[in-house]
Amino acid sequence: MVFSSNPLSLSVPDPTFDTWLRDSGYLEILDQHSSAPTTTSSTTTSTTTMTATTATATGLFISFFSHILTLLSLFTLNPFSKLATDDFSGQTPSWTRSFFADCRSYSFPSGSDQARLRVNENVKRYARNYASLFILFFACTLYQMPLALIGLISSLALWDIFKFCDVRWAWDRYPVIRQVMVRAVQCVTAVVLICLNVQMALFCALGVSYTVMILHAAFRKLTPAKQPAHQR
């Protein structure tokens, strides 16, 4: 279903109709509506080749500049503004049919408003996919940085030793001693993580996964949340 124009334009203004689409969950229609090209009739014709060339160059420059502004606006959005814990509790969307899909499922956002709409909705839909990508990128980063992997494993082992000692000697009966030991283990863990560059591995994984998430969410077209079941 494609709405090239407001079918209720005689009685309902476009902003009200767009609000109804958003509140009713028809975000894919709103996405198609906002990306539909607007056609305008030209009342004058170019009289010289120089004028036509200048107009074409100006149009290309404006289009290029608007695309750059749209790309820059992606990194000013807050993709986690509408994200909730329930978005991680459902099933992971299909990687092939839903997440990646085909090339027809992608398009350059027509503006910052459409980019914001896509980012907010796609981050909610594919939250589990993006989380899996972050784990994958983090694992690849640790593979490329063996010292960071050793530091992470050492930190986990240190806390396991602390837990064993806490149960073995019942430190919960001595709150002061237990608090001192917790602070000491935290300090040792921080030193290990910093000295072995675990924070650098985490920063690299976060940077790459965040960039991939923003670009995928902005370029991925909105589709119905529930795909129609295939009939046998």
pLDDT number for residue 22: 59
Q: Model's pTM, two decimal places?
A: 0.73
Domain boundaries, the chain: 131-211
Cα 3 from Cα 18, distance rounded (Å): 11
Instruction: Encode pLDDT of 47-85 as tens digits.
Output: 455 565 666 667 676 777 777 888 888 888 888 888 888
Take residue 137 and report the two structure tokens written for it: 């990128």
| Backbone φ and ψ of 227, nearest 5° | -75, 145
Asked whether 124 and 87 are in contact (CB, 8 A), the reply is: yes
Flag whether pLDDT at 91 surpasses 80.
yes
Residue 228 DSSP symbol: P
Instruction: Encode pLDDT of 99-147 as tens digits.
Output: 998 888 898 888 888 888 889 889 999 999 999 999 999 999 999 999 9
Residue 66: its H or E element: helix 49-74
pLDDT number for residue 179: 92
Q: Which residues of 191-218 are buried (b: 16+ CB within 10 A; e: fewer)?
A: ebbeebebeebbebbeebbeeebbebbb
- The residues with which 106 forms a beta bridge, in sequence order, are 220
